[in-house]
A and B are shown apart, each in its own frame.
Chain A
Amino acid sequence: MRPPLQRYRNILDFALSSLLRRKGRNLALISVYTLVVFVIASLVFFVQALKHEAHELLVQAPDMVVQRMVAGRHDPVPLAQVEAIRSIRGVDEVQPRLWGYYYDPVFGGNLTVLATEDAALAPDAIWIGEGVARSMRVKEGDLIPLRGYDGQSTLFSIQKVLPETSELVSSDLVLMAPKDVRALFHFPEGLATDLAIQAGNPRELPTIAAKIVELYPDSRPILKSEILRTYEAVFDWRGGLMVVVLGSAVLSFIIFAWDKATGLSAEERKEIGVLKSLGWESADVLLLKFWEGTVISVTAFLTGVLLAYAHVFFFSASLFEHALKGWSVLFPHFRLSPALDGYQLTVLFFLTVLPYTAATLVPSWRAATVDPDAAMRS
């Protein structure tokens, strides 16, 4: 082996022996360090993957949804508006949507009831999401009663359970014919919950929205870009909330690591004094401390990130998914696809590895520049 490389290996050997002499303290440090990297990396992976999934799915959402506002709350839209909006230049299609919520008192969950005109849907039958089937413990062919506006229960046969792979968008859905939705909720004819609009050119959407508001001042158009932005904001907020909760733990770690890295014990000062009196140069002592810091921080970073990846993408972020997903009774089961962001990984690396390694060098440099005799006597 070439002499310079051999020199580095010798110093690394010495650094490892030095770390092993204080085995307990350094193992505790690596464990806490790894835990902090693990938690932060899990959060970054989870939030990033959810944001990516939301974007990829909701990019298929209607270009615009038009609601009607009455006294600050949304109200059913008259179907008479459909033709007027369709005649606006740039609008390709206007689809009235009929949907609402159904609270199931038995399992205490909210279902989303949505009308569909799918020809495959049999009369008096419904299609349900996998989450509904799981919560109600029902399967295809079973009958379920839904309590209508008048307190009377209507039996619906389950014709189909929507595929498990679509649970992220369909877990709580109950799809039924428009006439059944109207009958269940006593929803008046001639009204829809809102209108879904498709436009040929997405750049015309703001103009179309302005024309709709001009035509119907009580309407509230929601653009697809706003839907996507809502999800960005929701996940940023939920991720940020977790960071705030974890903030105190991270701060404790920073104080612990800073104390460990910056304060040299009397034993360590004496060790540096002995090394210098044996002929070590200040640069060698600094290299020794650099290796000590690098071994700890790189090991903690790599282990923490790998564990976080396994936690989020193989074990569905089971440790803190409840905090991020909310307090839903009806809970979708889904597996996230990795959406790693190189920038975030780099930031994580620079925020965890570099400060610790740098923090170990300053006090060592101070100790390495004093007289060996003074260092040993201190």
Chain B
Amino acid sequence: MRKSTLCLAVTGVLSALFLAMLVHARVQERTAALRRQPSAELVKRLGLTDLCLFTEARYTRHPAMADRHAAFQDHPMALDHFPSGSLLAPPAFPSPHAPPPPAVPEHP
């Protein structure tokens, strides 16, 4: 078999798969509306305002409702999603104002 035949066949298969991908995406888009129905109903019924994607801190759980986006407001190491988070070091942990930890009894 000529090399060009094999090459054109491989490109043809890849192009066919690419077209199949576009068709699959379109079909999925239609069925997605049906699959999304329970979530959409819940959002409407409960008056939800945010997606449950980032639950690590208040302002990431409800970015649309949060205080004016205060960094590290939940936990000294709770990462924020703002550029300042990569420049501003998190506060020392445990805080210098925190009471000293209870004494650990020595192992007999």
Binding site for B on A (CB under 8 A): 9, 12-13, 16-17, 20, 50, 53-54, 56-58, 60-62, 65, 67, 72-74, 95, 97, 101, 109-110, 112, 114, 116, 118, 129, 131, 162-163, 165-173, 175, 194, 196, 222, 226-227, 230-231, 234, 237-238, 241, 295, 298-299, 302-303, 305-306, 309, 313, 325-332, 337-340
Contact = CB atoms under 8 A, between A and B. Distances in A.
Q: From B31, B60, B64, name the one whose CB has the most chain A CB atoms within 10 angstroms.
A: B64
12 contacts: A58-B43, A60-B40, A65-B47, A72-B67, A97-B47, A101-B58, A110-B61, A234-B81, A305-B18, A306-B18, A337-B29, A338-B28
A326 B14 contact: no
B24 A165 contact: no
Given A12-B7, A57-B40, A302-B14, A168 B51 contact: yes
Contacts of A331: 55
Nearest to B13: A302
A110 B58 contact: yes
Contact of A338 (B15, B17, B29, B81): B29
Contacts of B52: 112, 129, 131, 167-173, 332
A227 B48 CA distance: 11
A75 to B, nearest CB: 10
Nearest to B24: A338
Nearest to B36: A56
Contacts of A237: 81
Contacts of A118: 45
A5 to B, nearest CB: 11
Contact of A328 (B32, B41, B54): B54
A173 B51 CA distance: 11
B42 interface: yes
Contacts of A131: 52, 55
B4 A16 contact: yes
A313 B2 CA distance: 36
Contacts of A171: 52, 55
A15 to B, nearest CB: 9
B46 to A, nearest CB: 6
A305 B81 CA distance: 28
Nearest to B21: A309
Q: From A61, A116, A129, A169, name the one whose CB has the most chain B CB atoms within 10 angstroms.
A: A169
Contacts of A109: 55
A122 B93 CA distance: 43
Interface residues of B, number: 54
A339 B36 contact: no
B10 A299 contact: yes
Given A16-B4, A57-B39, A337 B61 contact: no
Contacts of B81: 234, 237-238, 241, 326
B105 interface: no
B9 interface: no
Contacts of A222: 49, 64-65
Nearest to B25: A338
A169 B25 contact: no
Contact of A60 (B18, B28, B44): B44
A102 to B, nearest CB: 12
A194 B65 contact: yes
A299 B42 contact: no
Contact of A175 (B4, B10, B14, B46): B46
Contacts of B107: none
A12 B60 CA distance: 54
Contacts of B15: 302
A238 B85 CA distance: 13
A331 B56 CA distance: 9
